[in-house]
């Protein structure tokens, strides 16, 4: 696994590892799974994908939901196919929950129910999501402590799970079966040691996305007519802020400010996950020999 915060250079490093060692790449990214979401996800370009194909990119329509359980199934399937061909899978990305669920396994929970989910969403819009979070605190304090009131997707899912099963989400977590991960895992984190450098990279990349047509990309998705702001795809970092701009909620300067701030918050959460990741080899993304360090770890993990 090659993990790291957004804008740390994971894609370029993964492509080099593919070309150097023949690894087959699998994306760990909750937004890159969606078709038509290219600029705002920093999805590998067509030329990059020609050099190093990535599995689990462009596998869902933005109107669909894709979960950690879906990723767990799909990633294991692709890893099995790769190893059966005598190759080594390299999973690369920054959706840390997906990575954790892949290694630890997923709890058995009821499938999403569109009618229940829509009813809860309407409650959130009318009563306020703080009120929904208070409901969750009453029925499942542990889950409520782990889910921020503004994380609407996870909040609605926690309430949905309880309504459909009668069992709190935290109890599902406790019942989660331990999984014997069937591969020997080498985890590498690529992240700038200097947080200010990461922040500068994030701002530069968001400006580049805007220049490349990010607003136009979201406008085209919005014009389809079948997408709403609360879909997981449209709540992805950057897409949510551009959608609000297109709705007239802010001006362009505020869009830029909010987009950069949201991406910085994402990077902060990613780095928090990495601090808890076991047996992690850390590489400073700003080091001149960062890719050489990664290659050395791959050749000799014990060094």
Could you tell me the CATH number of the domain that includes residue 127? 1.10.20.140
Domain that holds residue 156: 114-175
Residue 159 shares a structural domain with residue 10:
no
CA distance linking residue 230 with residue 232, whole number of Å:
6
Residue 292 shares a structural domain with residue 156:
no
Percent composition of the chain: helix, strand, coil (DSSP 3-state, to 5): 55, 10, 35
| Per-residue pLDDT in tens (0 to 9) along the chain, 303 residues | 999 999 999 999 999 999 999 999 999 999 999 999 999 999 999 999 999 999 999 999 999 989 888 999 999 999 999 999 999 999 999 999 999 989 988 767 787 888 998 999 999 999 999 999 999 999 999 999 888 888 888 899 999 999 999 999 889 877 766 667 889 999 999 999 999 999 999 999 999 999 999 999 999 999 999 999 988 899 999 999 999 999 999 999 999 999 999 999 999 999 999 999 999 999 999 999 999 999 999 999 876
Residue 191 shares a structural domain with residue 289:
yes
Task: Give yes or no for a contact between 121 and 110, defined as CB atoms under 8 angstroms apart.
Answer: no
How many independent structural domains does the chain possess?
2
- Strands (E) located in the chain: 2-3, 24-28, 54-55, 89-93, 187-191, 280-284
- As a whole number of Å, the end-to-end CA separation of the chain is 18
Residue 160 shares a structural domain with residue 281:
no
Residue 150 shares a structural domain with residue 281:
no
Residues 6+ apart with CB under 8 A from 277: 3, 96, 187, 189
Q: Which residues partner with 219 through β-bridges? A: none
- What's 286's domain CATH number? 3.40.50.300
Domain boundary among 126, 146, 175: 175
């Amino acid at each position: 696994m090659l993990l790291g915060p957004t804008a740390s250079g994971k894609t370029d490093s993964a492509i080099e590892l593919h070309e150097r060692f023949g690894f087959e790449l699998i994306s760990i990214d909750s937004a890159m799974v969606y078709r038509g979401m290219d600029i705002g996800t920093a999805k590998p370009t067509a030329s990059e994908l020609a050099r190093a194909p990535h599995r689990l990119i462009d596998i869902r329509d933005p109107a669909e939901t894709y979960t950690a359980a879906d990723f767990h199934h799909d990633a294991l399937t692709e890893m099995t196919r790769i190893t059966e061909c005598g190759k080594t899978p390299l999973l690369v990305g920054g959706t840390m929950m997906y990575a954790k669920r892949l290694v630890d396994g997923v709890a058995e929970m009821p499938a999403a129910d569109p009618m229940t989910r829509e009813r809860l969403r309407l409650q959130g819009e009318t009563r306020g999501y703080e009120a929904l979070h208070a409901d969750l605190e009453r029925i499942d304090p542990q889950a409520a402590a782990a889910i921020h009131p503004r994380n609407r997707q996870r909040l609605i899912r926690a309430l949905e799970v309880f309504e459909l099963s009668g069992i709190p989400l935290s109890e599902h977590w406790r019942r989660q079966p331990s999984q014997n991960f069937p591969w020997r895992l080498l985890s590498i984190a690529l992240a700038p040691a200097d947080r200010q450098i990461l922040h500068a990279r994030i701002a530069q990349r968001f400006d580049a996305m805007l220049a490349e047509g990010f607003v136009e990309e979201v406008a085209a998705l919005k014009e389809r007519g079948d997408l709403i702001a609360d879909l997981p795809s449209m709540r992805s970092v950057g897409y949510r802020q551009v959608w609000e701009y297109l709705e007239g909620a802010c001006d362009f300067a505020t869009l830029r400010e909010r987009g950069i701030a949201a991406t910085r918050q994402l990077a902060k959460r990613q780095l928090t996950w990495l601090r808890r990741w076991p047996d992690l080899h850390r590489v400073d993304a700003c080091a001149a020999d960062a890719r050489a360090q990664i290659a050395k770890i791959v050749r000799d993990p014990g060094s």
